């Protein structure tokens, strides 16, 4: 349903989208040691998706990324709840986190922390909520 020929925006999108998406993943993973984390990472990922929405229309984006953002929110919530409630199985207080150092073949020594899983939940909820809001306001039924 596009009327204007916005080739400059579409071309620059192809470069920008991946840079923004990659940077948001970096921000998300760096959250434990540097400023960042699930919230800002999720917002930035939805920023990339909004850029996609500005360039194309809602139907096209839904074709490119067939995601139900309400389910994404619920999935994020469930991941966060499961991470915190997992403590119940080990009979330690709710939300107790653990971490270990893992030797991985390519990445080398990594310190893996269950707080990252909680952060992943936050990340998904933020994307889900932001995109639901924007799509609901933007769509016309």
Partner 1 sequence: MTNLIVLPILIPLLTGAILIFFGKNKLVQRVLATLSALAGIIVSFIIVQKVRTDGVQSLNISSWDAPFGITLVSDMLSALLVFTTSIIAFACLLYSFKSIGENRENHYYYSVFNFLLVGVNGAFTTGDIFNMFVFFEVMLMSSYVLLVLGGTKIQLRETIKYLLVNIISSALFVISVAYLYSVVGTLNMAHISTRINEISINGMPGILTVIAVLFLIVFGLKGAIFPLYFWLPGSYYAPPAAVLALFGALLTKVGVYAITRTYTLFFYHDGFVFQLLAILALLSVIVGVIGAIAYWDIKYIVIYNIIVAVGVILYGVSVMNPAGLTGSVYYLIHDMIIKAALFLIVGIVIAITGTSNLRKISGLITRYPGLGWTLFLAALSLAGIPPLSGFLGKLLIVQGGVEGESYIGAGLVLLSSLLVLFSVMKIFINGFWGKAQTYEGEEKTPVKWLLISPAILVVLSAIYGIGSESFLPYINMAAETLMDPSTYIEAVLKE
Q: How far is the CB of 95 from partner 1 (least distance, A)?
A: 4
Segment 77 to 136, residues that bind partner 1, using CB under 8 A: 77-78, 81, 85, 87-88, 91-97
DSSP per residue over 19-52, as a string?
A: HHHHHHHHHHHHTTTSS--HHHHHHHHHHHHHHH
Region class of 37: left (phi > 0), else alpha (psi between -120 and 50), else beta: left
Task: Compute how many residues bind partner 1; rule: CB under 8 A.
Answer: 17
Tokens representing residue 139 in the block: 């769509």
Q: What x/- string results for residues 67 through 86 when contact with partner 1 is judged by CB under 8 A?
A: ---xx-xx--xx--x---x-
Residue 22 interacts with partner 1 (CB under 8 A)?
no
Rounded Cα–Cα distance for residues 94 and 85 (Å)? 6
Binding site for partner 1 (CB under 8 A): 70-71, 73-74, 77-78, 81, 85, 87-88, 91-97
């Amino acid at each position: 349903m596009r009327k204007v020929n916005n080739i400059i925006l579409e071309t620059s999108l192809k470069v920008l989208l991946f840079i923004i998406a990659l940077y948001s993943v970096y921000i998300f993973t760096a959250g434990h040691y540097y400023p960042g984390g699930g919230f800002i990472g999720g917002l930035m990922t939805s920023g990339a998706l909004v850029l996609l929405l500005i360039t194309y229309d809602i139907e096209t984006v839904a074709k490119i990324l067939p995601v139900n953002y309400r389910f994404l929110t619920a999935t994020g919530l469930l991941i966060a709840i499961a991470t915190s409630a997992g403590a119940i199985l080990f009979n330690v207080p709710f939300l107790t986190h653990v971490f270990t150092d893992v030797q991985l073949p390519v990445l080398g020594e990594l310190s893996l922390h269950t707080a990252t899983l909680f952060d992943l939940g936050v990340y998904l909820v933020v994307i889900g909520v932001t995109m639901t809001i924007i799509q609901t306001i933007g769509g016309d039924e």
